[in-house]
Chains A and B, each alone.
Chain A
Amino acid sequence: MADVRTDVRDILSYVEDHLYYNRPDLEIGGERFNASLLMSVLTGLVGGKALIVGEPGLGKTTSAEYVGALLYRLPLGTVWEAEVSGHPEQTEEKIIGRPNLGELNQGREQVVWSAFAQLPVKIVDEINRLPETKQSLILNGVDRGHWTYLNAMLINEEFTLFATANYQDRGTNTLVPPLMDRFDVMVESKHPGPNLSWAIGTDSTRESALRDTRCESAIQEWLGGTGPPSEIETLCDGFGERVSSSLDLPTLGRERRRQAREEMATLVFDTDASALMRTYLAELTFCCKYGQKRSNEFCGEGCHYTGYLGYGVKGCLSNRFPVSVRQYAQALAWLLGDSSITVEHLRLVLPYTSAHRIQWRDDGETDVEHGPRGDAYLIHRAREAVNDVVRRYTEQSGRIREALEVANRAFSGEKVVPVDGEHPIYEEIKKDLGHETGRVFS
């Protein structure tokens, strides 16, 4: 049996060559990838949550369906069944579950969980058509895989979620920041260009390879009944065998996914990558006037830190952000066969993990929005921000690493003077060492 990485690379190549046609727009380690497809595969691998944005009809939902089907060994029809569409009339009963009416008539309360709540691959189509008040319905489920209805609770031990969103039009709503923050990455499914677009138009056989009507019916029956959890694994394995024999393509079962995650978890950030990440976080969270960034407080004119990212943003990044960065950087390094996480991996991952989380100040740079770029505005702006921080880090990497090393010694009780510097990271290190001026202990 091939190693898991080879299987995942085969799946990625198959989707690229046969199912989701698009141009590569990223390069790392001499390899080129399509960002939307790469982020979708990494999302499936880590059990993450991806927000895929783009114009209607550019493959946002279908790419997620293909990746979900192959990485989670589910026939395409079953993946479709687990899809929820965002619209203003959407209800909890359609998304999460409903009472078993037959049982209810007998005086017993039993919940019939939706396929969306039960299956490990979840797709929310056009999530920004859900009104803001209804977005909270899926907040907890999206975050932790905990679904509650009436007095019952369903916990997903493993799941991945893909949500698609069109750009603003008359029918869309704003995604509330807490929901946005729960997505690990945001990526754009771009137009593939006229030639690939025409190839998509002339190829009508793409999806049929991943359909398995008998397996889909059996899973549907299992979803509506009370069969043991192992039964669906058997059904999925049968689908995997059929895909393997008909397409000569591997799919991943639960055990293989677990193995992949275990391998990823062994990869550590090298010293530079760790120091860069701290530098990036310091810029986006630190405020010399108010201590930290808060969404209701703004740095005024003449702020000491106007040259850093923190000046141009509202609020600070949540603790979910470093978790997303760690998971996706580990998954990327694992996929590339690298032995540790380097600055290169971070440079690739950071724009997609930051784009939807950074709230830029409205009076920020508008020339970035209207200047030339190949990415969606938020991703482009996040990439520019990452490049700025990498440049600042490169210029003083030795000093920042020295500051962190000295801080470790100070933390261990050694009498050393913390390294001073202009960048917010130095101030944040001093705070951790209890050197903050004007510190108040209540």
Chain B
Amino acid sequence: MKNPFAEFAGKTPEPVRRLPMEDILAEHTDALDSLKAGFKRLIEDEAGDGLWQPDGDSIVRVYEKACDIGTDVRVEPGDIEVFAHVAFRSEDPDFYLMGPLGLYISALCNASDRAEITLNFGGQDLRLPLLGYRFPEGRRLDVEGHLGDLTGISMTGGALNVNGHVGRYLGAGMAAGSIRVEGDAGRFVGEQMVGGEIRVAGRLGGVGKPVGGVVYHRRQCVYGDPEAA
């Protein structure tokens, strides 16, 4: 019988990234404990019944609460990354609520005093939504790996770079700043954005209904006036 797989000879996909979790956790124990406690407090206050729907009100409410908690928890970017990996792997039902988790991590990043933050989510099956919510001016957030829906929404400045795919509603409602996605983006890119710049290097599911700003798909401007921007 003919080998129908011959063309895949030597085409091993990139190995899935395995983290030496035990070593990493040992280095971040204290920070992790306070991050976990903070997140559980957030869930208890805002989604105690285990349900959470991402609408305008609930996003603002959870984010503001997360900001309050974030000011009490002083952490380094490395702690945030480890916390995210622990949350992704956790069997605790509180950590199943990915929306609040995305907002919590966004609040931690926004509250950090670092001008540049790098988060490596490579090798994860789960895709964190809402990362980069209200990302502020003068800062840079580089993400390695795929993200979920509502990435970079309501950004007020700064640069968000994603070396992976993102879901729907990328940069929705953003007012300023720039988002660059090296992979694919889902539908409704730039929905209701009023300013800033979005660049998608991979496939683009569709542009939403922006009212300002510029959207590029690869080298082509698909929305807005680059000159005016």
Q: Which residues of A contact B (CB under 8 A)?
A: 30, 269, 271, 274-275, 343-344, 347, 394, 397-399, 401-402, 404-405, 407-408, 411-412, 429, 432
B4 contacts A432, CB within 8 Å?
Answer: yes
Given contacts A271-B7, A402-B12, A411-B6, 20 further A-B contacts (CB under 8 A): A30-B217, A30-B218, A30-B219, A30-B220, A271-B11, A274-B8, A275-B8, A344-B203, A398-B14, A398-B16, A401-B13, A402-B13, A405-B5, A405-B8, A405-B9, A407-B5, A408-B3, A408-B5, A412-B3, A432-B4
B13 contacts A398, CB within 8 Å?
Answer: yes
Q: Which residues of B contact A (CB under 8 A)?
A: 3-14, 16, 165, 184, 203, 217-220
B220 contacts A408, CB within 8 Å?
Answer: no
> Cβ of B14: which chain A residues have Cβ within 8 Å of it?
398
> Cβ of A347: which chain B residues have Cβ within 8 Å of it?
203
A394 contacts B165, CB within 8 Å?
Answer: yes
Contact status of A408 and B8, CB under 8 A, knowing A394-B165, A394-B184: yes
Minimum CB distance partner of A404 in chain B: B8
A401 contacts B184, CB within 8 Å?
Answer: no
How far, in whole Å, are A405 and B217 apart by their CA atoms in the complex?
Answer: 32
How far, in whole Å, are A398 and B16 apart by their CA atoms in the complex?
Answer: 8
Minimum CB distance partner of B5 in chain A: A408
**Between-chain CB contacts (< 8 Å), 21 pairs:** A30-B217, A30-B218, A269-B7, A271-B11, A274-B7, A275-B8, A347-B203, A397-B13, A398-B13, A398-B14, A401-B11, A402-B12, A405-B8, A405-B10, A407-B8, A408-B6, A408-B9, A411-B3, A411-B4, A411-B6, A412-B3
Minimum CB distance partner of A390 in chain B: B203
How far, in whole Å, are A405 and B12 apart by their CA atoms in the complex?
Answer: 6
How far, in whole Å, are A76 and B173 apart by their CA atoms in the complex?
Answer: 54
Minimum CB distance partner of A405 in chain B: B8
How far, in whole Å, are A399 and B13 apart by their CA atoms in the complex?
Answer: 8
How far, in whole Å, are A153 and B165 apart by their CA atoms in the complex?
Answer: 56
Interface of chain B, main secondary structure:
loop
Shortest A207–chain B CB gap in Å is: 35
Minimum CB distance partner of B16 in chain A: A398
How far, in whole Å, are A275 and B8 apart by their CA atoms in the complex?
Answer: 9
> Cβ of A411: which chain B residues have Cβ within 8 Å of it?
3-6
Contact partner of A405 (CB less than 8 A), chosen from B3, B13, B219, is B13
How far, in whole Å, are A408 and B220 apart by their CA atoms in the complex?
Answer: 39
> Cβ of B13: which chain A residues have Cβ within 8 Å of it?
397-399, 401-402, 405
> Cβ of A432: which chain B residues have Cβ within 8 Å of it?
4-5
> Cβ of B6: which chain A residues have Cβ within 8 Å of it?
408, 411
Minimum CB distance partner of A397 in chain B: B13
> Cβ of A269: which chain B residues have Cβ within 8 Å of it?
7
Shortest B227–chain A CB gap in Å is: 19
Q: Identify the interface centre among A269, A407, A408: most chain B CB within 10 Å of its CB.
A: A408
B8 contacts A401, CB within 8 Å?
Answer: yes
> Cβ of A402: which chain B residues have Cβ within 8 Å of it?
12-13
> Cβ of B184: which chain A residues have Cβ within 8 Å of it?
394
> Cβ of A343: which chain B residues have Cβ within 8 Å of it?
203
How far, in whole Å, are A96 and B3 apart by their CA atoms in the complex?
Answer: 42
> Nearest 6 CB-CB pairs, A to B?
A408-B5, A404-B8, A398-B13, A407-B5, A30-B220, A405-B8
Contact status of A404 and B12, CB under 8 A, knowing A30-B220, A344-B203: no
> Cβ of B16: which chain A residues have Cβ within 8 Å of it?
398
Shortest B183–chain A CB gap in Å is: 9
> Cβ of A274: which chain B residues have Cβ within 8 Å of it?
7-8
Minimum CB distance partner of A433 in chain B: B5
> Cβ of B10: which chain A residues have Cβ within 8 Å of it?
405
How far, in whole Å, are A412 and B2 apart by their CA atoms in the complex?
Answer: 11
Shortest B8–chain A CB gap in Å is: 4
> Cβ of A271: which chain B residues have Cβ within 8 Å of it?
7-8, 11
How far, in whole Å, are A411 and B7 apart by their CA atoms in the complex?
Answer: 12
> Cβ of B220: which chain A residues have Cβ within 8 Å of it?
30
Minimum CB distance partner of A387 in chain B: B205
